Amino acid sequence: MTHTLSTCLWFDGNAKEAATFYKDVFGAVEILSENPYTINYTLFGRPFMHLNGGPNHPINPSISFFIHAETEAEIETYWAKLVEDGKILMPLNTYPWSEKYGWCTDKYGVSWQLIIRHQNEERIIPSLLFSGVNNGKASGAIAFYTGIFNESKTIHISKYEQGEADVEGNIKYAQFELNKDPFCIMDSSGAHTFSFNDGVSFMIMVDTQDEIDYYWNSLVKGGAPGRCGWLKDQYGVSWQIVPTALSKLMTSSEKAQKVTAAFLKMSKFIIADLEKAVQ
């Protein structure tokens, strides 16, 4: 049971505009599909979906995206476009961990960490910042997530030592894989004003009800169910467990209306009930 994870970004009516902007910034964007509500594309081969969900869940830096650039010139080109009408969180500079690094939030609220690529690192990797009530829980989160997804493993863990800038034993930087997709995670004791929300969620596309039940029951443990296939895990990270049958059932405007009416009443998706809606 191995499924590719997509990243969903929540926008207030400007989902396509943002996707067009990222294509201009990075170049490596391939549009897969679009409609008035969503646009699906890949960025450096990693799947993304932009959702026009309204103003209720603005994106914040609790989940950012590492971009591993080949050269300093490439970083500077990305940086110049991303910071225009955005916000600098850490200036583009030389740091102990990289000869060129910067952290910024673009004009849509999406956060990017630009850094020089080493060896065969993926070009883009989501990064989760465990702060506030989650500070110090990153190690447990790695064990939690890798225990759920197949073909998952811990790649690297670096912890703060005594006398360093954060609590001894907190994760300074770690990388792990879920279903072969890389993720980063860090602890922070800083006084951050943001936390995980629906602005950035991770979407798992599955084929069967058993798979929906498995991921749902595993991830919601200690968390909270949402609506329409959404849930929050015990750390507040948002997930969507979506059946591939959903798009196959919505082959006409009439069927789409019936299926939509059915899933709007659901928390966890029930494939049989979606199928009954169009019979």
pLDDT of 2 > 80? The answer is no
Q: For domain 207-277, is the CATH number 3.10.180.10?
A: yes
Euclidean distance between CA atoms 123 and 101, whole angstroms: 14
Euclidean distance between CA atoms 203 and 223, whole angstroms: 16
Which residues share a beta bridge with 29?
A: 43
Instruction: Report the predicted TM-score, pTM, of the whole model to 2 decimal places.
Output: 0.95
pLDDT single digits (tens) 176-222: 999 999 999 999 999 999 999 999 999 999 999 999 999 999 999 99
CA distance to 4, 90, 93, 171, per residue, from 113 (Å): 23, 9, 12, 17
Q: Taking the CA atoms of the chain, what radius of gyration do you get in angstroms? A: 19
| Continuous segment of H or E residues that includes residue 155 | strand 153-159
**pLDDT value at residue 1:** 53
pLDDT single digits (tens) 60-91: 999 999 999 999 999 999 999 999 999 999 99
Domain boundaries for CATH 3.10.180.10 within the chain: 5-187, 207-277
CATH level 3 topology of 5-187: 2,3-Dihydroxybiphenyl 1,2-Dioxygenase; domain 1 (3.10.180)
